[in-house]
Chains A and B, each alone.
Chain A
Amino acid sequence: MSLDERIYVKMRNERELRGRLHAYDQHLNMILGDVEETVTTVEIDEETYEEIYKSTKRNIPMLFVRGDGVILVSPPMRTGT
């Protein structure tokens, strides 16, 4: 598959991970290296009622991800594609 390749993982709770896939198993538990996690939140402005999308990013050198939070795995998307 795409071992040792950079991948994009979409997870539950509006989280996305971009990192290098080092290992995976049948439950989709994964070991990702050099991973950047993006958490997206939607805030609704009280006055204008418009939706403001906020995302928080952080970097983690080596991460074990439990499979039941994973929704999909794909090659990295260029932002905007």
Chain B
Amino acid sequence: MAAAARENYYIKNTLICLLKAVEGKVTTVELRNENAVTGRVDHVDGYMNISMSNVCYKSYRGNMTNFDSFFVQGVNVRYVHIPDEIDMRKAMEKYIKLESDAQNKVQKRIRDAAMKKIKKRQEAVLKAEKRQEEKEETVKQSTDKVADQT
């Protein structure tokens, strides 16, 4: 549970949110060992691990190998080419909006629950006051009756 939370923190608070925009697109990832992988990015996680499909693995010497699926550890990434069709600003806004919407929902729920509690407490206090008043009324009435009799 804590591991997933940490990953989500990384995705939200670093530029990895932009790498998520590349998911589903075909691009080139250059590795620390000077080799390059070109293919469709399937998934990017909070640690920048990238899983790809239909890749062509190009070594710095020029040797090419094809793989159906490929996984790059985040630490080994040097560059990720961003395809031209991606609008960075829109992708960032979309991601930030998603996150802020989710956050707003949670905050709203907390606020509503707090308001409910406060309301309940106020009603309980009102009821107690009413009961107190009624008690005093009945006491007053009985003392009046006694006063009338004497």
* Number of chain B residues close to chain A: CB under 8 A: 23
B88 engages A31 (CB within 8 Å): yes
Surface stretch bound by A, among B73-81, B110-118, B142-150: B73-81
Binding site for B on A (CB under 8 A): 13, 22-27, 29-31, 60-66, 68-69
Q: A29's contact among B14, B22, B88, by CB below 8 Å, is which? A: B14
Please determine whether B92 and A63 come into contact, CB atoms closer than 8 angstroms.
no
CB distance from A60 to the nearest CB of B (A): 6
Contact B88 A66 (CB under 8 A): no
Could you say which of A13, A25, A26 has the most chain B C-beta atoms within 10 Å of its C-beta? Answer: A25
Known: A23-B92, A69-B32. A64 touches B15 (CB 8 A): yes
Are B18's CB and A66's CB within 8 A? no
Answer yes or no: B19 CB below 8 A from chain A CBs. Answer: yes
Interface residue SS majority, chain A: strand
Please indicate the chain B residues that have their CB under 8 angstroms from the CB of A25 in the complex. 13-15
Interface check B84, CB cutoff 8 A: yes
- Identify whether the interface residues of B are mostly helix, strand, loop, or mixed: mixed
Contacts of B80 on A, CB cut-off 8 Å?
63-64, 66
Assuming the contacts A25-B14, A29-B14, A29-B15, asked whether A64 and B92 have C-beta atoms less than 8 A apart, the reply is no
Given contacts A31-B18, A69-B32, contact A63 B88 (CB under 8 A): no
A62 touching B82 by the CB < 8 A rule? yes
Q: Is B48 among interface residues, defined by CB-CB distance under 8 A? A: yes
Q: Are B79 and A23 in contact, CB atoms less than 8 angstroms apart?
A: no
Q: Are A31 and B79 in contact (CB under 8 A)?
A: no
Bound-state Cα–Cα, A13 to B88, Å: 28
